[in-house]
């Protein structure tokens, strides 16, 4: 089974339901409780700074981890951020499992308790309606001392620059974000908020994308079958064009001219009565309309001019046939 990808892009871009599902799959495959808890802390930061609601994301999974999994320092450090996920008796069980005494509890949670007060305060803010979209563009240093920019989209409007910067500093305590083995977000530098006008927006959730992918093949097959359903009334004499080949039903060849007696006893040819429209119809069955038009009108004359030219050519041809039957010779200069 392919390992579930869960990184910076997924944590700060996916929807709540898809993100909960992805984090659950990651835990089933790896069993790494420390990384799961750090992922959950990053989601809490996103919940505080963004408009979307992630307050209950992975709640069931985190309850299971804190109540049943083997204790480690990561669970001890961040447990107070998830205290609201438990009833009073359950929370006491968590503390008894993670800490030997109150002194150890204060040692591991001193800084995290301050962050929890800040998150609670920021989460109580009600964002004002706005026709603008706000993005927080922040700068951090990685473990190698190199600066990099990170943009958090769909953020709340900043009311306090200091409080927002303190929330961003929480990322510097996380070790889960790495690129080529180099840890990111080790030191906060600065941030700024961009205001952009939002006209329209739509994004498919992960579940909708999966459902669309599953139903796409069946729907496409139904459409193709409907398009290529043979017709029972198709005439046998119709020409078939496909795979670059053309098949036209053969008909009995008819003479172009028929002979009728003249008053002087000789025979005179009579032109075939087929109209130019019928000729054009016959040519369209063999080739496309564009090709037929080019053959009939290679010099780009208008329709009336072409009709006069065709009539003149036909009259000359008939005259030549009559002259040959009358025994007349062509005058040569």
pLDDT higher than 60, residue 220: no
Give the pLDDT band (50/70/90) at residue 233.
very low
Of the candidate ranges 5-9, 247-251, 283-287, 310-314, the one whose mean pLDDT is the lowest: 247-251
Give whole-number Cα distances, 247 to 179, 223, 280, 286, in Å. 62, 27, 18, 8
Confidence band of 170 (pLDDT split at 50, 70, 90): very high
Q: 126 versus 39: which is more confidently predicted?
A: 39
> What pLDDT was estimated at residue 169?
96
Query: Is residue 184 over pLDDT 80?
Result: yes
pLDDT given for residue 273 in this prediction: 43
The residues facing 150 across adjacent strands are 138
Strand 267-270 versus strand 258-261 pairing type: antiparallel
| 30 CB neighbour count, 10 Å cutoff | 13
Tokens of 97: 């499992």
Report how far residue 243's alpha carbon sits from residue 249's, in angstroms, rounded to the nearest whole number: 18
Q: What is the DSSP letter of 3?
A: P
Is the pLDDT assigned to residue 281 strictly greater than 60?
no
HSE (side-chain half, CA atoms, 13 Å) at 117: 5
CA dist 30 and 24 (Å) reads: 10
User: Over the stretch 297-332, which tens digit does the pLDDT of each residue have?
Assistant: 555 556 667 777 888 888 888 888 888 878 765 554
- Tell me the per-residue pLDDT of 43-88, one tens digit each, with 9 for 90 and over: 999 999 999 999 889 999 999 999 999 999 999 999 999 999 999 9
* Helix 16-30 with 59-68: angle, nearest 10 deg: 30
Strands (E), 28-146: 132-141
Distance CA 40, CA 279 (A): 77
pTM score, whole prediction: 0.60
Cα–Cα dist 136/151, whole Å:
6
| Residue 255 pLDDT grade (very low, low, confident, very high; cuts 50, 70, 90) | very low
State the pLDDT confidence band at 274, using cuts at 50, 70 and 90: very low
* Whole-number pLDDT of residue 208: 73
DSSP line for 304-318:
HHHHHHHHHHHHHHH
Report residue 166 CA to chain centroid gap: 36
What would the two tokens of residue 170 be? 């929480």
pLDDT > 70 in the chain, percent: 68
pLDDT number for residue 223: 42
Tell me the three state secondary structure of residue 177. Answer: coil
User: What pLDDT was estimated at residue 243?
Assistant: 43
Q: Count the neighbouring beta carbons within 10 Å of the beta carbon of residue 269.
A: 17
Residue 161 has pLDDT above 90, yes or no: yes
pLDDT at residue 267, as a whole number: 46
User: Of all residues in the chain, what percent carry a pLDDT higher than 90?
Assistant: 52
**If you average pLDDT over residues 166-182, what whole number do you get?**
95
Compute CA 170 distance to the chain's CA centroid, rounded to the nearest angstrom: 34
From 17, 11, 5, 58, select the one nearest 204 (Cα to Cα).
Answer: 17
Q: How far apart are CA 6 and CA 26, in angstroms?
A: 8
Q: What is the mean pLDDT of the chain?
A: 78
> If you ran DSSP here, which 8-state letter would residue 170 be given?
G
Angle, alpha carbons 240-244-247 (nearest 5°): 30
pLDDT for 250 beyond 50: no
């Amino acid at each position: 089974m392919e390992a579930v990808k869960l990184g910076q892009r997924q944590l700060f871009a996916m929807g709540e339901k898809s993100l909960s599902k992805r984090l659950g799959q990651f835990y089933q495959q790896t069993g790494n409780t420390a990384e799961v808890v750090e992922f959950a802390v990053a989601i809490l930061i996103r919940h505080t700074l963004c408009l979307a609601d992630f307050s209950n994301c992975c709640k069931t999974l985190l309850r299971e981890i804190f109540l049943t999994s083997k204790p480690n320092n990561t669970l001890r450090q961040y447990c107070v951020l998830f205290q609201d996920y438990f009833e009073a008796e359950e929370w006491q069980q968590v503390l008894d499992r993670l800490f030997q005494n109150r002194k150890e509890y204060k040692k591991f949670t001193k800084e995290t308790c301050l962050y929890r007060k800040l998150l609670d305060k920021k989460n109580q803010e009600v964002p004002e309606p706005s026709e603008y979209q706000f993005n927080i563009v922040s700068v951090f240093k990685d473990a190698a001392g190199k600066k990099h920019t990170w943009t958090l989209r769909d953020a709340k409007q900043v009311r306090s620059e200091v409080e927002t910067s303190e929330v961003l500093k929480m990322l510097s305590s996380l070790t889960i974000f790495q690129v080529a083995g180099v840890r990111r977000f080790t030191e906060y530098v600065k941030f700024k908020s961009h205001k952009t006008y939002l006209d329209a927006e739509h994004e498919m959730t992960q579940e909708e994308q999966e459902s669309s992918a599953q139903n796409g093949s069946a729907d496409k097959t139904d459409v193709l079958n409907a398009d290529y359903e043979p017709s029972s009334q198709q005439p046998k004499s119709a020409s078939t064009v496909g795979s670059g080949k053309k098949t036209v039903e053969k008909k009995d060849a008819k003479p172009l001219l028929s002979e009728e007696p003249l008053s002087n006893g000789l025979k005179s040819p009579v032109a075939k009565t087929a109209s130019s429209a019928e000729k054009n119809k016959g040519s369209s069955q063999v080739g496309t309309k564009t090709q037929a038009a080019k053959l009939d009108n290679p010099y780009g004359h208008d329709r009336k001019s072409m009709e006069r030219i065709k009539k003149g050519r036909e009259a000359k041809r008939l005259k030549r046939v009559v002259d040959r039957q009358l025994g007349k010779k062509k005058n040569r200069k």
